[in-house]
């Protein structure tokens, strides 16, 4: 499939793309119809890609281990009948294997860099088709917060802008292979799946009414249910600390190693809670990192 006439190489020396990551998911589970779903949680941490065309038919990437992004780039260039010669340079603030959507962010940034250089747009449904050939996806090719069937790479529902949250997070260590994780049988009962269906309905309602406390409660319940699948050692500690300092709730990387506590950035007691929460989490023996959700304001500024 050819796109419109290509820009001459002298018109633009390189293409640039960027994609955000996530702090796990606001909610993730399995529905009674056996569909796996998640609710995205975009954060202000990014993967970026620079695409530099070169003569010839060799496509390379740095770091060399980013084979999924290289595979996607080849697929896009071949599909649009574009020259296969080029170099991709990826930089990411997102650690791999932690539940921060690093692989998907790399791939989406790669696609956007090619789009930028050749000045065209890949329909999101087509991009999902390409990524589906490689691995399950976190849904971050869609703006805002969405309900996403991550194994099928299919959008269920867009929930709108993310509230302005700070996440005080700790990494319990290790790495998780997302592809292998998604092949693992989920130990959820019929009752669990019915509860997930209810939680998803509640999450959609909470976004419509902008009820942050409700969102926090659903996130916490999702983290608790996920203990059957990918348990976090310090979940109970975080729930206790969150309750005691007046946080919104606890959020987890359901298929990763991070767990965090939600604070609302516009809470009059924000600074006090941020300081107290940081100190309490440090007491668990882990470095504490602050993450920030992507809101409409931060998207405009970017």
pLDDT at 3 over 60: no
Q: What's the mean per-residue pLDDT of the chain?
A: 93
Among 180, 183, 179, CA closest to 68: 179
Burial of 75 (0-12, 13-18, 19+ CB in 10 A): middle
Bond from prior residue into 51 cis (ω within 30 degrees of 0): no
Q: What contacts 292, CB < 8 A, 6 or more positions away?
A: 43, 44, 164, 165, 166, 167, 265, 298
**What pLDDT is stored for residue 184 in this prediction?**
79
Write down the pTM of the prediction: 0.93
**What pLDDT is stored for residue 215 in this prediction?**
98
Among 93, 106, 167, CA closest to 137: 106
CA dist., res. 108 & res. 105, Å (int)? 5
pLDDT at 89 over 70: yes
In 154-269, which ranges are continuous DSSP H helix? 178-183, 190-208, 212-225, 235-245
Number of Cβ within 10 Å of residue 278's Cβ equals 15
What does the radius of gyration of the chain's CA atoms come to, in whole angstroms?
Answer: 20
Where residue 194 falls among pLDDT bands split at 50, 70, 90?
A: very high
CA dist., res. 124 & res. 213, Å (int)? 32
**What pLDDT is stored for residue 110 in this prediction?**
98
Number of Cβ within 10 Å of residue 109's Cβ equals 25
Among 90, 93, 99, 88, CA closest to 38: 99
CA dist., res. 294 & res. 218, Å (int)? 19
Give the pair of three-digit tokens for residue 23.
């702090």
Give the pair of three-digit tokens for residue 294.
């992507």
**8-61: per-residue pLDDT in tens?**
444 568 999 999 999 999 999 999 999 999 999 999 999 999 999 998 889 999
**Phi, psi dihedral angles at 185 (to 5 degrees):** -65, 135
Number of Cβ within 10 Å of residue 32's Cβ equals 12
Bond from prior residue into 118 cis (ω within 30 degrees of 0): no
Q: What is the mean pLDDT of residues 125-136?
A: 95
Higher pLDDT, 133 or 57: 133
**What pLDDT is stored for residue 6 in this prediction?**
52
Which domains are delineated in the chain? 15-155 (3.30.230.10), 162-301 (3.30.70.890)
Give the SS3 label for residue 289.
Answer: strand
Residues forming beta bridges with residue 258, ordered by sequence position: 171
CA dist., res. 137 & res. 89, Å (int)? 21
CA dist., res. 118 & res. 91, Å (int)? 21
**142-172: per-residue pLDDT in tens?**
999 999 999 999 999 999 999 999 999 999 9
């Amino acid at each position: 499939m050819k796109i419109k006439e290509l820009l001459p190489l002298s018109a633009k020396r390189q293409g640039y793309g960027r994609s955000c990551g996530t702090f796990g998911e606001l909610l993730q589970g399995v529905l009674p119809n056996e569909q796996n779903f998640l609710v995205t949680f975009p954060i202000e941490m990014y993967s970026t890609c620079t695409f530099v065309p070169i003569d010839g038919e060799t496509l390379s990437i740095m770091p060399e281990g980013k084979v999924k992004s290289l595979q996607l780039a080849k697929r896009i260039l071949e599909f649009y009948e574009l020259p296969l010669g080029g170099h991709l340079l990826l930089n990411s603030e997102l650690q791999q294997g932690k539940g921060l959507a690093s692989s998907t962010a790399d791939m989406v940034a790669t696609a956007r860099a090619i789009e930028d250089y050749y000045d065209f747009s890949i329909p999101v449904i087509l991009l999902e088709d390409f990524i589906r050939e490689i691995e399950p996806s976190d849904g971050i090719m869609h703006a805002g917060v969405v309900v996403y069937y991550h194994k099928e790479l299919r959008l269920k529902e867009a929930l709108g802008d993310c509230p302005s949250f700070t996440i005080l997070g700790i990494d319990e260590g290790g790495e998780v292979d997302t592809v292998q994780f998604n092949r693992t049988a989920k130990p959820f009962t019929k009752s669990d799946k019915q509860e997930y269906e209810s939680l998803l309905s509640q999450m959609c309602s909470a976004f419509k009414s902008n009820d942050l406390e409700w969102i926090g409660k659903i996130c916490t319940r999702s983290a608790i249910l996920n203990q059957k699948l990918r348990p976090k050692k310090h979940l109970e500690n975080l729930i206790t600390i969150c309750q005691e300092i007046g946080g919104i709730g606890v959020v987890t990387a359901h298929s990763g190693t991070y767990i965090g506590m939600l604070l609302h950035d516009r809470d009059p007691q924000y600074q006090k809670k941020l300081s107290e929460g940081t100190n309490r989490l440090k007491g668990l023996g882990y470095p504490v990192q602050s993450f920030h959700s992507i809101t409409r304001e931060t998207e405009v500024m970017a």
